[in-house]
Structure 1
Amino acid sequence: MPSDKLYNDPSLVEFYDIENGWTADSAYLKTMAEGRTSILDLGCGTGMLTAALAESGKRVVGVDPAAAMLDVARSRPGGNRVRWVEGDGRTIRLDETFDMVLLSGHAFQVFLTKDDQLAALKTIAAHLSPEGHFIFDSRNPVVEEWKEWTPDESERDTEHPVFGKVLAWNDVRHDPATGVVEYDTFYRIAADERTYAAQSKIAFPSHEDLTAMMDESGLVVEQWLGGWDGRPFETSASEIIPIGRLR
């Protein structure tokens, strides 16, 4: 899995929280974490959610492969309550288990092949306590959301605390043979027209693909959601969100 500048270049990482921030998935997961005593955030990014989950004295570990993201996570308020680990979600083994294992922000989609995806699911299984639950999200390929990631449709204005006004946009290419989507992210600083750019790749496994991989990875899904508002999964849902446990 090649290094992605969007997550590894500190100048681009500065835009991550501006673009993503605290969203519906964060709120849902914080509620789900109530009553849990130990949580593994497998793909924690800049740690906004992870640090919030550690507020109540829980044992919380945040794992991410990008050192630049973890630098932000460690320095944020509450970051000292989390153990931050640089590691690959396909291979990391912490030799401990958790009441809750999560991957949010569509982090599961960075695993581009079925082998990668199965390896990530086995990592989840390896870190679940007998009564623990896992949850993650992946965009439903049926919806073809990537078609909205063109320059015209994705152009947006945002505000950077140092640079001021920033124009952001994406561009996209979809490979029908593999289902992998390659997209570009651009940030242009209004004051001096400097432009930062990154190229990323993500996969869109289907509901059927994910279902088939669960048993092999030692997991069972108890509930499939179709959105972070708690709606049940259906074919036309924008999200595929499994919630489950060890088989």
Structure 2
Amino acid sequence: MPSFHNGAVEIAYLDEGEGDPIVLVHGFASSKNVNWIYPTWVSDLRKDGRRVIALDNRGHGDSEKLYDAAEYEIAIMASDVIALLDHLAIERADIMGYSLGSRMTAILAREQPQRLRSAILGGIGIGLIEGGGPGENVAIALEAPSLEDVTDPVGRTFRAFAEQTRSDRRALAACLRGSRRLMTSEEAAAISVPVLIAVGTKDEIAGSAAALGKIIPGAEVLDIPNRDHMRAVGDKVYKTGVTDFLSRRQ
């Protein structure tokens, strides 16, 4: 698996296919494999004529594990994406995030719009502004001696997912504590690149897609019917909507 360094931090990534580049940024406690390869996003986008690039966020997957929460400030995490574009000598790309990856993508859309052809915010709605994602209960669950010691239902869900993906739970707890900064309404309203917001209609983590769509100028909203936060990732409606959105960026 290829890798590069952003400062001292080693980041793993994949780079497949030819055509217009799209960078995929996974969610908290996930990885490029779990978020993008297994649900066939990478192969589907390649078939659509795209060059597909996906990284493992710091603390996740095959990338370096860090245990200081300050290393996971959301803008620092987002800088890994720009460092990857620089490493590959890509001037501009479409960027699609999911959940935490969408928070990172929104930061880039606001602060470095010249590097984004478009931003696709999957699995995040008004929670970008009004919700901090998983709370301290999840961090505590990740650090508990075992799953059996976790009584909080949300904490149990994330702990079980982290065990399923064989993640470094201590690194994830640090990431959770460091990446909670929200975007303000004013910052979101200043996003000028084309934006697609895609959220499952049963997603209780992301918050309302329509509410965020009213704040980001010109944003398109894609409702993914009857899908929650986890099950929306590989949904056909999501994929079709993204393909259509990208086709109009030519």
- Shared fold by TM > 0.5? no
Q: Where is the strand percentage greater, Structure 1 or Structure 2?
A: 1
Q: Which gives a bigger RCO, structure 1 or 2 (Cα 8 Å, sep 6+)?
A: 2
Between Structure 1 and Structure 2, whose CA radius of gyration is higher? 1
Q: Where is the helix percentage greater, Structure 1 or Structure 2?
A: 2
Instruction: State the TM-score, normalized to the length of structure 2.
Output: 0.40
